[in-house]
Chains A and B, each alone.
Chain A
Amino acid sequence: MDQFTINLLFVGASFALYIGIAIWARAGSTSEFYAAGRGVHPVTNGMATAADWMSAASFISMAGLIAFTGYDNSTFLMGWTGGYVLLALLLAPYLRKFGKYTVSEFIGDRFYSPTARIVAVICLIVASTTYVIGQMTGVGVAFGRFLEVSNTTGLLIGACVVFAYAVFGGMKGVTYTQVAQYVVLIMAYTIPAIFISLQLTGNPIPALGLFGDHAASGEPLLAKLDAIVRELGFAEYTAHHADTFNMVLFTLSLMIGTAGLPHVIMRFFTVPKVSDARWSAGWALVFIALLYLTAPAVGAMARLNISEMMWPNGGIEGGAVTVEQIENDERYDWMATWQKTGLLGWEDKNGDGAIQYYNDKNEDLQAIAAEKGWTGNELTNFNRDILVLANPEIANLPGWVIGLVAAGGLAAALSTAAGLLLAISSAVSHDLIKGSFNPGISEKGELLSARIAMAVAIVVATYLGLNPPGFAAQTVALAFGLAAASIFPALMMGIFSTKINNTGAVAGMLAGLIVTLVYIFLHKGWFFIPDTNSFTDANPLLGTVKSTSFGAIGAAINFAVAYVVSGMTKPTPEHIRELVESVRVPRGAGAAQNK
């Protein structure tokens, strides 16, 4: 059986499973549609949250970013997990006690202001939509590669699948579908990593293999990797090169953004009790950590494998891989496969029949190159995003592992897209239509409008996925910055302070949102239109603060403005202080409906 058939089989079987679960769990009442009847077990909910959270960025992109940068990109690992501590301690139990369906409903009630609710809905829709565009782009690329169709066709197939189970299944379909997706994606991520760790270190646990010894040389794996990349003129893998202040700020922005993303917060409304919400955040991080502890090992081991493949005879002295080897040796077949996607490229610039991979910007290597007659790095293109998908092929693993990774990458992208779409649809139907424009809408009408909102959101996201406003990383950075600067501070102040009033909250959210948006647009172009930017991330407006790191500053502005404005305006009324007091204690939490 050829690889295409195997991929089709794995992807097809996993889809049949997701759709089957969605049909089985079809939602009835609105309460079930939004919050899965409030009856999801904390472990189940944790698993679904993990699938919801880990998107194409975590599965496809992150290990590649770590592989080619090393220590400096540990910020992703710490940032995307540390947010769960904030969620579990500062938000999840209280929002579950509050017992409503959506994040904006809490903001509207706590700040006794329909304006606050609408501002929150706007923040939520902007953050979620930008995030979902990145997912749809990822869906397109993954489908395109594995089903050997064009990016556009891949995206359209993906949109139909997301539509089917998100619209017809609602949250319950999504919850149990996401449990299935978690299982698929974690197997797809860890199985190749286990194989590779065994090959390189003899240790079946990749997270331990990373700090173990390299079997072939007997040296520690990381020391071996440092030596190889140093020999090729690249920055040492384990050393710290990036600007420290920006690293701290970026990590903090990712953490706060994680805790402010509405589709993740919503998941904690689905557990039966307040105490379960606390446990559930922990379980979510357990399931996320399985991937996040493996990712740095995947990155380091792939970097070692690639370096050794390009210099197969023991470093520079042994000579580079030859063009003839790449074309005929089946261990190098992956290079030809990925070259077709345009994401990998090489060129024998000096015509010596070999491909020299080195850092041609490094002076020591330039001296060696001059001596040996090299005329620049000949591995001309290695897109970071192909690393995880190509990894099993690079390590020469069996075809079924490659098929599994295809299914896993799609599971990661689709599950997050579905969760985001649900957050958008409930914001529109529940907060905007029922909460503001038409409070008398019937339950049936509300459910219908939720489904229409979701369908519209899918169409918009698909269109923007086909014509993305920028690279996925740019749109994802905007989503995190916005969530960090707008939603998280409002929620936290709503719970931990009785003093913040309606005017303060609205002013804080708007200030955080607008300042962050402007800072990003100044660096990435207004509405992401190229060449409309005044600054670049290499040379930012404020010191070393890149636009991706600004979310934490936006959050600080939100807090400060809210405090100052609240101090100058009318104090919060008595019934709101009582509401805050009641949110702080678990007793009296609403029971799970339709368990």
Chain B
Amino acid sequence: MADNSSKSAYWSANVRIILISLVIWAIVSFGFGILLRPMLSGIAVGGSDLGFWFAQQGSIIVFLALIFNYAWRMNKLDREHGVDEE
């Protein structure tokens, strides 16, 4: 079993990754998709603008990237801190 300082370092690294991911999560959906859409209106995407794309498709693609990135980083972090499953 890993010692306590390594465990708390593991946990704060995890919380940091979660916070960064959730900031991106909020920016692409509530930000680009809704609140910041007027700012992106100059960028045309296939008959509409970038904000419309983020609201209908882009945010979903970013969500996918966030989850797989998290799984990959955490599984690596588990091994680095010796808390992975044998």
Please list the residues of chain A having a beta carbon within 8 angstroms of any beta carbon in chain B: 71, 74, 77-78, 81-82, 84-85, 88-90, 93, 207, 210-212, 219-226, 238, 240, 244, 247-248, 251-252, 273-275, 278-279, 281-282, 285-286, 289, 292-293, 296, 496, 581, 584-589
Contact A586 B85 (CB under 8 A): yes
Query: Which of A88, A212, A293 is B70 in contact with, Cβ under 8 Å?
Result: A88
How far is the CB of A72 from the nearest CB of chain B, in Å?
A: 9
Contact A81 B83 (CB under 8 A): no
How far is the CB of A207 from the nearest CB of chain B, in Å?
A: 6
Contact B55 A71 (CB under 8 A): yes
Q: How long is the Cα–Cα vector from A226 to B68 in the complex, in angstroms?
A: 36
Contact A78 B46 (CB under 8 A): no
| A–B pairs, 7, beta carbons within 8 Å | A77-B56, A78-B29, A81-B59, A88-B70, A220-B46, A293-B61, A587-B1
Q: Which residues of B35-70 are within 8 A (CB) of A?
A: 35, 37, 45-49, 52-53, 55-57, 59-61, 63-64, 66-68, 70
Please list the residues of chain B having a beta carbon within 8 angstroms of any beta carbon in chain A: 1-2, 7, 10-11, 14-15, 18, 21-22, 25, 29-30, 33-35, 37, 45-49, 52-53, 55-57, 59-61, 63-64, 66-68, 70-71, 74-75, 78, 82-86
How far is the CB of A203 from the nearest CB of chain B, in Å?
A: 11
CB-CB < 8 A to A225: which residues of B? 47
Contact B83 A586 (CB under 8 A): yes
Interface of A is mostly: helix
Given contacts A279-B71, A289-B61, A587-B83, contact A224 B47 (CB under 8 A): yes
Besides A85-B22, A247-B34, 5 other CB < 8 A contacts?
A221-B47, A240-B37, A285-B63, A293-B57, A585-B10
CB-CB < 8 A to A278: which residues of B? 67, 70-71, 74-75
CB-CB < 8 A to A496: which residues of B? 15
How far is the CB of A484 from the nearest CB of chain B, in Å?
A: 16
CB-CB < 8 A to B35: which residues of A? 244, 248
How far is the CB of B39 from the nearest CB of chain A, in Å?
A: 13
Given contacts A82-B25, A89-B22, contact A77 B71 (CB under 8 A): no
Return the 5 tightest CB-CB contacts between A and B, nearest first: A220-B47, A211-B46, A222-B47, A74-B55, A278-B71
With CB as the reference atom, state the residue of chain B lying closest to A289.
B60
Query: Which of A210, A211, A223, A273 is B85 in contact with, Cβ under 8 Å?
Result: A273
Q: How long is the Cα–Cα vector from A220 to B44 in the complex, in angstroms?
A: 11
How far is the CB of A496 from the nearest CB of chain B, in Å?
A: 8
How far is the CB of B48 from the nearest CB of chain A, in Å?
A: 4
CB-CB < 8 A to B7: which residues of A? 581, 584-585
Contact B85 A275 (CB under 8 A): yes
Contact A248 B25 (CB under 8 A): no
How far is the CB of A358 from the nearest CB of chain B, in Å?
A: 22
CB-CB < 8 A to B48: which residues of A? 211, 220, 222-223, 238
